[in-house]
Chain A
Amino acid sequence: MYDIAIIGAGVVGTFIARELSRYKLKVILIEKNSDVASEATAANGGTIYDGYDAKPNDFRGKLTMRGNELYDSVCNDLGVRFERVGLLVVALRQEDRNKLEDMYNKGVVNVPGLKILDKDEVLVMEPCLSDEVVGALYSPTCGVVYPWELAIALVENAMDNGVKLLLNSEVTNMKKENGVFQLTLNDNIVNARYVINCAGINADKINELLASPSFKIGAKRGQFIVLDKSSGLTKRIISHCKTKGEKEVSVIPTIGGNLLVGPAMESIEDGGANQVTAERLAFIKRSVSKLSDKIPLDQIIQAFAGIKAKAYLSEGNSDFVIEESPEIRGLINVAGINSPGLTCAPAIAEYVTQIVRDIYQAAGEVLVEKVDFTLRRSRMVRFKDLDAQKKAELIKSDVRYGRVICRCETVTEGEIVDAIHRNCGATTLKGVKRRTGSGLGRCQGGFCGPKIVEILAKELGEEMDEVRYDQKNSYILKGTV
């Protein structure tokens, strides 16, 4: 019997799991995929916003600002790469120039360092931008992370602090009897006093296993193209002023030094339709060309689509849903966490913890902090970031760090083996990629793929043709020759 069951190990579920692991609680994190951070969190642009466009006293805006503020410490504690690269909202038309003023006036109350730049200042900052630029709003506190790296780190740390992770487990039914929730999984039953629903695109379905419909999840799809490491063409996130209905296409410099271009969000019917489409990619390329004609669109190494969940309280009225279900006490819904959900996630975790605290209090109990809570997770070694002496020492301690497996990103066998054997270890080719960065480079795993499959097979005690690419049944090979 668990105190709390969290359904969904995306960045929201993992943040909550980690936050709750500070307390003397038995927590279980349940994920239907074979790895954490497999859906929206795996296909996100990674921007940490600052809330410049939030309405004053708006709930979402507050979470954004608080979330942004928390990022430095949480990433530092977990050894997750986070860079405050800053963001420019560029105006390309004279009429947009006034919009910058409006945005500035709205944002300056809450956002430190917000500034309006004139054309020359913008072009000094980002010389690759179009000469048509008339000005920009500059926000220095926006940043970037790899969302999956963060979510994996959160789970690892949560597990170090006693949280149990259950993968490959879809919640198919939920009952509540005598104040206890009973969750039916594919081959298992989990009992818990409280349930936190972070099921993303399926959050309404999970809610409706017990409660009557109070919100509907709609799917929004964004698509990104990934450009080869382009010698730091833009240092900052570049966005643009939008007219009503205009799709946003931003340029995002990633932690790894690539550029992302997207997402041009669109509403779609099928929440599972995470394919890229020719029309959208063409649109993204056309749109970004207006921002700069120097973006090397002939150096695309990857494209991906991600689905975000939007929660509709009624027709056309959507918002984050973060509350204890008024109908089913003890069921906390955390639903519709679409943009800027990644930014808000640490603040949402605090907020949800407060809800849990209140529930406990109402029941005459208290949440007790653990004295032995481990703030930091055991560090991941990134061989390529070490200096010469550290590299030498590391290879001396373990020769596997002397074997470079991914040549584009300089990832060693030592790092891959470590990624497989950590507490929330990789079991698939993509799992290794998300943890080590292997295959993220120009050849997209062409050279290292076969070698990593070999390592996975050896370390997991599988045959090579049992190794999967990503999810269930995604076997890479079809038997021996």
Chain B
Amino acid sequence: MLQYDLVVVGGGPAGLAAAIEANKNGMKRIIVIERERELGGILQQCIHSGFGLHIFQKELTGPEYASRFIDQLQALEIEYKLNTMVVDILPDKSLHVVNSQDGFLIIQAKAIILAMGCRERTREAISIPGRRPAGIFTAGTAQRYINIQGYMPGEKVVIVGSGDIGLIMARRMMLEGAEVLAVVEIMPFPGGTNRNIVQCLDDFHIPLLLQHMVTDILGKARVEGVVVAQVDEDRKPIPGTERIYSCDTLLLSVGLIPENELSGKAGIVLDRITRGPVVNEAMETSVEGIFACGNAVHVHDLVDFATEEGRRAGRNAAKYVNGELKRGANSIKIEPGWGIQYIVPHIMELGNAATLFLRVDNIYHDVNLVVKYDGEILKSLKKEYMAPGNMEQLVLDGDDLKEKKPSVLTVEVEKRNAK
């Protein structure tokens, strides 16, 4: 059995940052386990630019952003294994690991950081009816075929979902000579950033069909077309508005889900909404000494934020192994109130500071984001605009709470005119 102080599961941006930060905080026996043939995670297939504005004040491509961390990891001589899969994690913090070189390994860790990232939602997540021919891809799978393997997934494309991945892939397909007929979005507003709408759609004259949905997929062997219809306010198709788009490919960009097959095996409690582990402000899960970060916890808007979260997990894992992590004496539960989808962390320790990351459940204009304890407002922030697509941050100073000693905090959206 191999022994390590820290095993990081996943060598994407969050895992790399976690390992580096743990090392900087004095941890020595660290290993990163990566299932792909190189470190960097999904960044390696994101060859467009736009990464790193927060952390490096620079626009980098995905591989460039990744390489900054990979270089650092190697300079610090942190161990890693590629093409290696963690197949099991036990609550005693031992990991079952397989690869071709070592075969089957059991690694005993003092602390574990989970950074498995996320996966894409499929057509069923949005229940697209119709046939099941070849030619239906999630946007990330299509991106891998083009950018890593060098193959075109199709020639005439309709894209469902206007999140950033969908927009980036619309441009990518056009640049490689495919024809993108439309990007179909069920909501009245696009999911992706304004910059991507302009640079990926407008510049290429790709129509963005807001308040539309795909109601049928045609074609037996390969996609031959899709039926697109306008939707009403309840997001139901309006009869008579159906239009057939002849295409050979349907790309789906309909959201991401944290990947937590392993977390479940380790007995970690998962949040029903985020589908990631329930964590405290130290990014520690419900199993002592197992931490989690990045898109395995909740899906981030920017890689920079996943990196930050990885650093936090790495720092705290180091503290934990040194017996310096303060926790459990006075935990405060943080609960989403009206207008809030979810909040991470779910729990915090009284006396510690915490940054809350949260998403609202709808578009809100001119509202307050308030933190409440027992009906009383502890903190209130004015917000001109909030949308589910933009993660909000809210800093809670440890001193804010010391006086009150609350056991539960609620964060909610408060309409201003209601006051």
Contact = CB atoms under 8 A, between A and B. Distances in A.
Interface of A: 225-226, 231, 272, 274-278, 281, 300-304, 384, 388, 391-392, 395-396, 399-404, 407-408, 410, 412, 442-447, 449-450, 454, 464-465, 468-481
Contact of A470 (B99, B130, B134): B134
A304 B125 contact: no
Contact of B248 (A276, A469, A478, A480): A478
A402 B145 contact: no
Contacts of B322: none
24 contacts: A225-B124, A226-B124, A275-B129, A276-B130, A300-B127, A302-B122, A392-B103, A395-B100, A399-B101, A404-B35, A442-B261, A445-B141, A464-B149, A464-B151, A465-B151, A469-B133, A469-B134, A474-B221, A475-B134, A477-B145, A477-B151, A479-B151, A480-B151, A481-B152
Contacts of A391: 98, 103-104
Contacts of A272: 220
B140 to A, nearest CB: 7
B101 A402 contact: yes
B225 interface: no
B296 to A, nearest CB: 13
A39 to B, nearest CB: 12
B332 interface: no
B120 A446 contact: yes
Contacts of A468: 134
Contacts of A395: 98, 100, 103-104
Contact of B127 (A303, A401, A403, A408): A303
B100 A403 contact: yes
A215 to B, nearest CB: 27
B83 interface: yes
Contacts, number: 140
Given A402-B101, A407-B85, A449-B141, A480 B122 contact: no
B125 A477 contact: no
A384 B134 contact: no
A480 B124 contact: no
B23 interface: no
Given A302-B124, A468-B134, A474-B133, A407 B151 contact: no
A473 B223 CA distance: 11
Interface in B97-128: 98-104, 106, 119-120, 122, 124-125, 127
B131 interface: yes
Q: Which 3 A-B pairs have the closest CB atoms?
A: A469-B134, A392-B104, A404-B85
A443 B149 contact: no
**Candidate in A408, A449, A476 with the most chain B CB atoms within 10 angstroms:** A476
Q: Is the interface of B mostly helix, strand, loop or mixed?
A: mixed
Nearest to B260: A442
A392 B1 CA distance: 13
Contacts of A445: 141
Given A384-B87, A443-B122, A446-B119, A471 B221 contact: yes
A323 B107 CA distance: 62
Nearest to A429: B134
B166 interface: no
B151 A281 contact: no
A391 B101 CA distance: 13
A402 B98 contact: yes
A442 B119 contact: yes
Range for the number of chain B residues in contact with chain A: 35 or more
A473 B94 CA distance: 47
B215 A444 contact: no
B324 interface: no
Given A408-B261, A465-B151, 16 more contacts: A231-B264, A275-B130, A300-B124, A301-B125, A302-B122, A303-B124, A399-B100, A401-B98, A449-B141, A450-B145, A469-B133, A470-B221, A473-B221, A474-B134, A474-B221, A478-B154
A391 to B, nearest CB: 4
Contacts of A304: 132
B376 interface: no
A446 B124 contact: no
Contacts of B152: 477-481
Given A395-B103, A404-B35, A408-B261, A443 B129 contact: no
Nearest to B248: A478
Contacts of B83: 403
Contacts of B127: 278, 281, 300, 303
A46 to B, nearest CB: 18
A392 B106 CA distance: 11
Given A276-B130, A301-B124, A474-B134, A450 B144 contact: yes
Contacts of A478: 151-155, 248-249
Contacts of B154: 478
A281 B120 contact: no
Contact of A444 (B96, B98, B124): B124
A446 B138 contact: yes
B257 interface: yes
Interface in B44-77: none
B176 interface: yes
B176 A446 contact: no
Given A278-B129, A474-B134, A404 B104 contact: no
A450 B141 contact: yes
Contacts of B29: none
- Residue among A277, A304, A392 with the highest chain B CB neighbour number at 10 A: A392
A404 B132 contact: no
B100 A410 contact: no
